[in-house]
Amino acid sequence: MNIKVIFIICLILIGCSFLFLKQNKGGISMAEAGTNHKVLVAYFSRTGEQYGVGNIKEGNTAIVAKIIAEKTNGDLFEIKVAQDNYPKSYNELTEYAKKEMQQNARPEIVGKVENFSDYDTIFIGYPVWWGDKPMPVYTFIDNYDFNDKTIVPFATHEGSGFCGTQGMDKLGAKILKGLGMYGHVAQKDKPQADKIVSGWLKEIGY
């Protein structure tokens, strides 16, 4: 074997090692998402009359939350208010929500996340309400210690796009890129919603 052939073999071996390391890196990320990372998917969502979808039995954000939980092997927690006075009519709900925001209210939440400290990644989902998150989501955030955790926000909306992360940057948590999805897509086109969630999860390392 002359020196030129040995050189070419070495180059091929180095190339193969790089390829192996690259593929393996992706694999580790998936494994971490499914097994090593304990994932919580907390969400707030409303049924009743919603914009562009009529009277719904399952909230738009709830649908997205369930897709995420399934794909990340996460536990679901629905953020529900203790006294549910939210109107079922869309227009009345918008007025009610506006007042709640103006008062900077913290509606009480029912239930508690068991063993919250065990979770290292918390997806937080909500419908965009007046360009922000609904006030019960603020209550949820106030109730737990997010220091050193990873927060992954997601929202459904009808035109504003993803928003509502106000205040999350002060929690001492790492915040990953959020997802915004049209509510009517989640409600009416589940294959598309599934595809959007998969693409986003991949982008953020799951």
Site for ligand FMN in 73-112 (CB under 6 A): 93-94, 97
Q: Return the closest-CA partner of residue 74 out of 103, 41, 43, 101.
A: 41
Candidate list 42, 61, 119, 154; residue touching ligand FMN; CB under 6 A:
61
The residue sitting closest to ligand FMN, measured at its beta carbon, is: 183
The site for ligand FMN, by CB under 6 A, has a size of 22
Instruction: Report the residue number, 128 or 137, with the smaller CB distance to ligand FMN.
Output: 128
113-132 residues in contact with ligand FMN (CB under 6 A) are 127-131
Cα dist. 196→104, 123, 203 in Å?
33, 16, 11
What CA–CA distance (Å, rounded) separates 180 from 160?
A: 9
Nearest residue (CB) to ligand FMN, 90 versus 144: 90
Compute φ and ψ for 116, nearest 5 degrees.
Answer: -55, -35
Residues 143-172 that bind ligand FMN (CB under 6 A): 156-160
Q: How far apart are CA 206 and CA 121, in angstroms?
A: 12
- Map residues 16-45 to x or -, x wherever contact with ligand FMN holds by CB under 6 A: -----------------------------x
Around Cβ 51, how many Cβ atoms within 10 Å? Answer: 16
Using CB under 6 A, which of the segments 2-10, 58-66, 144-152, 190-198 binds ligand FMN? Answer: 58-66
- E strands, 121-194, where? 121-127, 150-157, 174-175, 179-182
Nearer to ligand FMN, 128 or 197 (CB): 128
Q: State how far the Cα of 155 lies from the Cα of 125, in Å rounded to an integer.
A: 5
Which chain residues interact with ligand FMN by CB under 6 A? 45-46, 50-51, 59-62, 93-94, 97, 127-131, 156-160, 183
